[in-house]
A = this chain, B = another copy of it.
């Protein structure tokens, strides 16, 4: 009945990368968990009743929007379409940062790129171009590096074969840290 609460849930779930639990939603929206649960149920039923192409699903303890299972063949077709093979500009830029600064944490990549890179990083991992390689000592943050598959796809034998960056750039190594410390 209270559209406000449902709107809030819709807005958050529309843009989150990972499934979000009811408890977290309750904290952010500052409402009791029961109300959140009720709102999620209402939305779920609404979408189903309105025959939407998407659905709200609870998966591994959290909620997230998915395309409706009925339409899986269409989504598959879209995924298989040649267009999806190409990396997006955002993915390419993120990959470039990782390639030249590996091993590197996601927070660091984010700081350099100036935007949230969560979804893009996940895509790069899913696509086998980037992989985890241990954790940073001080922070415990997961570190990432490029894979052999990346080298294969770009046509190089090793990371050391990547063309050198502009000569002035190595000097800004320290700058990265400053920027990172400001943003992290």
Contact = CB atoms under 8 A, between A and B. Distances in A.
Secondary structure of the A side of the interface?
helix
A125 to B, nearest CB: 14
A66 to B, nearest CB: 7
Copies of this protein, total: 2
Contacts of A90: 18
A137 interface: no
Nearest to A7: B53
Nearest to A46: B50
Given A7-B51, A52-B7, A65 B14 contact: yes
Interface string A60-87: 0000011110110011011111111000
Contacts of A83: 24
11 contacts: A10-B54, A11-B53, A11-B74, A12-B53, A14-B54, A15-B67, A15-B75, A29-B74, A79-B116, A82-B110, A89-B148
